[in-house]
A and B are shown apart, each in its own frame.
Chain A
Amino acid sequence: MISFGPTEEQEVARDAMRDFAASAIRPIARRCDEESQVPAEFLEQAWQLGLVSTQIPEAFGGGGETRSPITNALVLEELAFGDAGLALAAISPALFAMPIVEFGTEAQQREFLPLFCGDTFHAASLALVEPGPCFDPTGLRTTAERKGDSYVLSGVKCFVPLADRASHFLVLARNGGDGADAVQAFIVPRDAAGLAIASPEKNLGLRALPTGTLTLERVEVPASARLGGDAGCEARRIVNLSRAAQAAVLVGISRAVMEYAIPYAKDREAFDEAIAKKQAIAFTLADMCIEVDAMRWLMWQAASKLERGLDATREAQLARIYCARQAMKIADDGVQVLGGHGFIREHPVELWYRNVRMLSVLDGAALV
């Protein structure tokens, strides 16, 4: 049944996130960008929202809510409306925990999930992106070779969120064969022999989110460290979830641009009237309104397919392609509507312009 109506629980969650974004995220976003860091107290504050723990089974101390890609989509849009960098920092433990909830062996779940059910923020992360031109999540170069009772991982990973503090990394690596399905995930502790961590990286955008580079030189992990054990994990679904999440964050930033540009254009005068009364500006704002809607429904469509456990490869890809393009245009137009003020750091639009360009090229790397 085709429906655009969130459940009451989803509306409650969305409104809570909207309040949090307004009260706790937006006020510190600029400072965190200028200082290229996420305050520890913010991570603790966000932790209290239970973004991660609520979706962990009760057996391991979590809230036991079944994971909902749709709810995540609603939550992510709101958090990203506040600030994408801080939003991704706050949910980054999910990059590690959620795949374990979804694909982990009982032993893996018993060992790791309790880490994310405590009262304080626990950092863990995912290592997907690799350096070099034209990164493609289906063309990973990092390898994992079976060697007796263990796997040997070799390769370089970059843009790893919270690499500076993560206790464990979920490292995606080619495990024989080609394409998305050949990829498997491996749990690597921070202190693994042969693992070198360089952090922070210097990025164009999302500066509030510290990222790092992992160099894996024949890092040996036990066979039990492969996510899902012998069964392994469905890497394609991980990438699809990631693309849908990326789209949700892009919708949030785009809406932020629109809601900032509209009052600005009504307030700002040129040639003796509000610039919003010029068709060129007014139609630009109308296009933002059209596209924020279109982007959201396309992103919901992917999330809904994922929620049903169906193969959403097509829907997630289309949502990613469309949202990446439209978000870039909206942020770009937002700068133009503000003119000179779109170019200076007294207004948030230049920050959103950088964040969109950065995020929209992180194909597959924004998994939650």
Chain B
Amino acid sequence: MEHAIHVLATLLLLVGLHGMLTRRHLMRKLMAMNLLQVAVIVFFIALAAKSGAQPPITAVGDAAPRAHDYVNPLPHALMLTAIVVGVATNGVALALLIRIHRRYGTLDEPDVILGMRE
């Protein structure tokens, strides 16, 4: 039980990886990639958790916060950055998808590959 979150996050990562390998539609591959990224984020956020601690925002009137009372803020800050990186990647990927569809009339990978051969 103590590792349940990390085990499930690993499972999510594998679902994403499997999806990227087996889905044939390029947009589904992109979604699978997002699953994989979220799995990494879950992994980090679970590292930050502390039993019985509160969110990392100083409680009103707490002049001397103690480390045990608050969740570790560092992974949160890191994962905010990771989420942002994810959006940017999605934006670029979607732009490429529009162009690919424009040229080949499909986003189905085998069809696109067929189109490339012509």
Q: Do these two chains really belong together in a complex?
A: no
